[in-house]
A and B are shown apart, each in its own frame.
Chain A
Amino acid sequence: MGELGLPLPMLAAGAGHIGEQLIALGGAFLAAGLLARAGRRIGLPTIPFFIIAGIIFGPNTPGVVLVEDPETLALLASLGLVLLLFHLGLEFSLGEFTSGGAPLIKAGFIYLALNVGGGVAFGFALGWGTAEALVIAGAVGISSSAIVTKVLIELRRLANPETRMILGIVVVEDIFLALYLAVLAPFLNPDAGGLEAFLLFLRAFGFLLLLFAIARFGAKWVGKLLDTPDPELLVVLFLGLAVLVAGTSEELGVSDAIGAFMVGLIVAETAVKHRVEELVLPIRDAFAAVFFFWFGLSISPDGLAAVALPVAAAVVLSLILNPAAGIIVAKVNGLGRVAAVNIGTTVLSRGEFSIIIAALAASAGLDERITPFVALYVLILAIVSPLLASKSKRVAKILPKRWFPRPSGAAGSTAR
């Protein structure tokens, strides 16, 4: 608490007094919520503001310090991470993936090839290490489902033809994220050597297969375990299952994130799926906010300044690769230049997935610059992407019209 700070020593929580911890948690919720509400007024997504609240009210900036030691919130924050991925698994359906058909899957692959490919090259070019390069590739290459969906709804583009392409890309990215977390697992174990890393990969893979098998063949029994007409009991039971499997996964060297995703997949196959979907949302939103706030706590202005150049380079790279993917997808599907820009600028948003990957890297003890790097990168793109997407008509004027030969007449009446 410096001279600039308010004389509120009781706000700074250490371990011990439960009152202090409650004040820290309540303050975190309120600070994050109020800041994000201000952001929503001007049409910006919530995630960057949750992180900014963590930075402002964390120990690394002057002013009010709500949480002195990020460890205080670590358990609740990881509950947020577990619920984010549990919900992702729950919502995930292979039917949605295949119903859109080849064009959507192709769009997803074009996007990933460019962005994760570019991310890998960029990660290695930074020279922070192999594991670090893979982490950065994932953080730079994968869009934020949450922000993309919100942007589409708020810009009222749900009925546009390119929107299906955008959602197709996001669905493919969701699957990719799950697989990528599995691939990353051995790299995130700092002690592993060559053979050991391979064995760890096998163990992680085996555990994943087991969970897949349960999702495919054992969902009935899981359904029996959870099913109760009482919503109160259902909440308690599915939370218990999700957190237990996430913890077990973490202990087995698969991350808690992917364990939670797999439980989500399993519950999605049961009869209680739709009820759980409804019940999990408010809890997920609450603890996800804690997760993002907690992520901001460990970030200092100095740390951000130190990675400003690499972040600027990554932002420029994304500002090239995302519209490039948008243009290719639009051309392949016979869409116009505004549609191309809509695709490119909407999927440009980065948020929860980048933060999740960075948090896993931090807990594995990788290069300390990853956390501020991903934080700054996400802060910039989570704000730039919705702004650009809302101005897509003007942005589209940069592209030559002749790149997009279209049938004449109003776009809306001809496009499907």
Chain B
Amino acid sequence: MQLDIEVQDLPGIGKRYEVHGEHGGRVAVVIHNTGRRDVYAFDGGKGADPDAEDDDAQAVVEFSDQQARKLGAILGGAYFKPSVVEEIEAVIDDLLIEWVTLDDNSPLVGHSLTGLDVRQKTGMTIVAIVRDRHAITMPEADEVLEGGDRLVVVGVRKDFKAFQELIGEAGDLG
């Protein structure tokens, strides 16, 4: 896997960044001086035509500055983190700050925090709930959890597994 990003000047237009995909293919991002961004995709896998003589991209999408920022945030995991990635989160020595999203089938959905007794059972503390883009910090004991809630939890790393099992996520982890 190649993690290097190639940067090139495009005189009069802007800059070009190229990132290679894990299994072939690459993406070029052109940032125009005007703020516009173009994303060029090059198929290196089965879709690529071995007889192709040109270097034209297979797909090009144009974004405004604002749209590009949004896309960047999505790629960075600000909206949704796959559970596999969630494991590698902010760890300060042994302290773990983690956020997980409850799916609608989670056994926690419909229960209040008191009834769940999360801290006693797992050692993790729910410090905030993000619901409909609105943050509930230091939730009250009678707060009822809903599907789609994003829980911000704090605890020590070894307790996190128990927490995942409690919310019914363990089975999802491959």
Give the docked Cα–Cα distance between A168 and B8 (Å): 12
Identify which of residues 21-72 in chain B touch chain A, using a CB-to-CB cut-off of 8 Å: 24, 26, 28, 30, 33, 38, 40, 42-44, 48-50, 52-57, 60
**Least distance between A113 CB and chain B CB atoms (Å):** 20
Of B11-19, B130-138, B151-159, B162-170, the stretch lying at the interface with chain A is: B11-19
Which B residues touch A339, using CB under 8 A? 54-55
Which A residues touch B33, using CB under 8 A? 277
Docked-complex contact A163 and B10, CB < 8 angstroms: yes
Give the docked Cα–Cα distance between A75 and B48 (Å): 55
Asked if B9 CB lies within 8 Å of chain A CBs, one says yes
Binary per-residue interface labels of chain A (375-407) against chain B in the complex, 1 for a CB within 8 Å, 0 otherwise: 000000000000000001100100000000000
Given A409-B50, A410-B48, verify A145-B12 contact (CB < 8 Å). yes
Of A66-74, A114-122, A153-161, A284-292, the stretch lying at the interface with chain B is: A153-161
Select B11's contact among A100, A157, A277, beta carbons within 8 Å.
A100
Docked-complex contact A161 and B55, CB < 8 angstroms: yes
Select A410's contact among B10, B16, B44, beta carbons within 8 Å.
B44
Asked if A415 CB lies within 8 Å of chain B CBs, one says yes
Docked-complex contact B10 and A413, CB < 8 angstroms: no
Identify which of residues 74-111 in chain A touch chain B, using a CB-to-CB cut-off of 8 Å: 91, 93, 96-97, 99-100
Asked if A149 CB lies within 8 Å of chain B CBs, one says yes
Which A residues touch B43, using CB under 8 A? 412
Which B residues touch A412, using CB under 8 A? 26, 42-44, 48, 52, 55-57
Select B52's contact among A96, A164, A392, A410, beta carbons within 8 Å.
A410
Which A residues touch B52, using CB under 8 A? 410-412
**Least distance between A139 CB and chain B CB atoms (Å):** 21
**Least distance between B37 CB and chain A CB atoms (Å):** 11
A-side interface residues toward B, CB under 8 Å?
Answer: 91, 93, 96-97, 99-100, 145, 149, 152-153, 156-164, 167-168, 170-171, 277, 336-339, 342, 392-393, 396, 409-413, 415
B-side interface residues toward A, CB under 8 Å?
Answer: 8-13, 16, 18, 24, 26, 28, 30, 33, 38, 40, 42-44, 48-50, 52-57, 60
Q: Apart from A163-B10, A167-B13, A336-B55, what are 15 other A-B pairs with CB-CB below 8 Å?
A: A96-B9, A96-B12, A153-B13, A156-B60, A158-B30, A158-B40, A159-B42, A167-B10, A167-B11, A170-B12, A336-B53, A409-B50, A410-B52, A412-B43, A412-B52
Shortest 9 CB-CB contacts between residues of A and residues of B: A159-B28, A159-B40, A338-B54, A96-B11, A156-B60, A160-B55, A158-B30, A410-B48, A338-B53
Can you list 6 pairs linking A and B with CB atoms under 8 Å apart? A153-B38, A163-B10, A336-B53, A338-B55, A413-B26, A413-B48
